[in-house]
Chains A and B, each alone.
Chain A
Amino acid sequence: MTQQEAPVRKITVACDVNGYPAEFLAAPHQSLLEALREAMGLTGTKEGCNDGNCGACTVALDGRIVDSCLVLAAEADGKRVDTIEGMAPPNGLHPLQQAFLEEAALQCGICTPGFLVAAKALLEREPEPDEHRIRLWLAGNLCRCTGYDKIVRAVQRASSEMSKPAPAGGA
């Protein structure tokens, strides 16, 4: 990335988004959230508060969940970004997405991509978290519809699905 100090010069950012190489021009003050939605058309990541309180814009940056509204797009240069768009396998759903549907863990849906990305990061680190741990991990994600219980149950359900041994006789 070129280091430009002139305020209006755009910066070329090259990063990995959901496993694919991406390159875009970012204004220096542009957030990663804006770049994802506007430059890359990845509108699954939502803007809620734009100040780091609600977690609707949660993405993983080099494997750690962050509020993408509080990351400058320029900071993503050379990094890996994982968004909700990269979560489902081809022709299916991630177990967390399936569990959110089955537990009715969403109503308006604005917070859902952030919850899913955050919960996925939790289960990757800790495959069988208890309820307290799930609630603590998801404290940075706000939901104004569900009252959280269904979301917590969905994460527990996905956790037990994902912890089951793979069926025998598979390819």
Chain B
Amino acid sequence: MHPFSYVAPRTLDEAVEILDRRGERARPFAGATDILVQLRAGRFELDALVDLKAVPETTALSLDGGGLRIGAAVPCCEIYEDAAVRAAFPGLIDAASLIGGIQIQSRASLGGNLCNASPSADGVCPLIVHSAVAKLRGPEGERDASVESFCTGPGANVLRRGELLVEIELPPPPERFGAAYQRFIPRNEMDIAVAGVASAVALDEDGAAIVSARLALAAVGPTPILAERASAFLMGKPPTTETFAEAGKIAASEASPIADMRGTKEHRLQLIETLTRRTLAVALARARTSR
């Protein structure tokens, strides 16, 4: 492995300055659960790893007027151990508590999961269905990117030279809202998704119709994808088994999976249909019991 230096800046400005100066030869990290594996495998070389965990903005987790702000370096365990977050964002907890095992969850962050930009990232689809926004900071200042636009290809994202992800902001969910994430893996734990689906629905006052919906799909395209047609289809529909089955078919039509060692294209399309139905059912149950 190419030797690299370790830097732990204490401020965002300092972190941005280092990243800007070193360009592609430096990267920020939080839990290191992806980047150390990639460096050892020789996927790329770096001259410096920039540890963000001493930067206060990246390590804060706060419920904010019904919304949620997750610092880019907050590990999964801190998210699911927070009782208030667990109660308010169960769809996010679905993902935070199944990424890797306990050892990985002690370190891995949703911010890192997003920046790593794997198509199979478990943490990204739940963020997409929550309409989450990535708050970025770079040499030019701050800017926002929607989470669904953040990943641009396998391992690629919108970050520019010197720019880093500071936090992820989830807006307050609407009333009668529920979200859920499920994935398929051949084992019970500790594996990479063959396919995954996050669903979110909000119901009208009677619970008789869906007033807003978002579906996002993992491991069936070059990035995690927002299933726009399936999401639009659900609007105004009654939340029934038939509706969910049809949404599953539409979601599968929006997927463009490859065949690889984890699964065939056909298997993945079938999984998208099934997981769409199942996650919609869980999201609906959560919407019915939400405030």
If A7-B5, A65-B103 touch, does A51 touch B37 (CB 8 Å cutoff)?
yes
Smallest distance from the beta carbon of B64 to chain A beta carbons, Å?
25
Interface residues on chain A, size class? 35 or more
Interface of B is mostly: loop
Smallest distance from the beta carbon of B61 to chain A beta carbons, Å?
15
B36 touches A7 (CB 8 A): no
Chain A positions 44-86 with a Cβ under 8 Å from a chain B Cβ: 50-53, 55, 58, 61, 64-67, 69-72, 74-75
A66 touches B40 (CB 8 A): no
A52 touches B37 (CB 8 A): yes
A5 touches B103 (CB 8 A): no
A72 touches B1 (CB 8 A): no
A27 touches B103 (CB 8 A): no
Smallest distance from the beta carbon of B205 to chain A beta carbons, Å?
39
A28 touches B40 (CB 8 A): no
How many A-B residue pairs lie within 8 Å, measured between CB atoms? 100
Bound-state CA distance A29–B189 (Å) is 29
Bound-state CA distance A46–B77 (Å) is 24
Contacts of A121 in B (CB 8 A): 102
If A71-B32, A75-B51, A139-B189 touch, does A6 touch B5 (CB 8 Å cutoff)?
yes
B20 in the interface (beta carbon within 8 A): no
Most chain A C-beta atoms within 10 Å of own C-beta, residue among B18, B53, B100? B100
B289 in the interface (beta carbon within 8 A): no
Contacts of A53 in B (CB 8 A): 190
Chain B positions 218-264 with a Cβ under 8 Å from a chain A Cβ: none
Give me 24 A-to-B residue pairs in the complex whose CB atoms sit less than 8 angstroms apart, sorted by A's number: A3-B9, A5-B5, A5-B7, A5-B48, A7-B47, A28-B4, A29-B3, A31-B36, A51-B41, A52-B33, A52-B103, A53-B190, A66-B103, A67-B103, A67-B104, A70-B32, A71-B107, A74-B8, A121-B102, A138-B101, A139-B188, A140-B103, A140-B104, A140-B190
Q: Give 6 A-B pairs besides A5-B5, A53-B190 with Cβ atoms closer than 8 angstroms.
A: A5-B7, A61-B106, A72-B51, A74-B51, A139-B189, A140-B101
Give me the interface of B with A, judged by CB distance under 8 Å.
Answer: 1, 3-9, 18, 31-33, 36-37, 39-41, 47-49, 51, 53, 77, 100-104, 106-107, 188-190
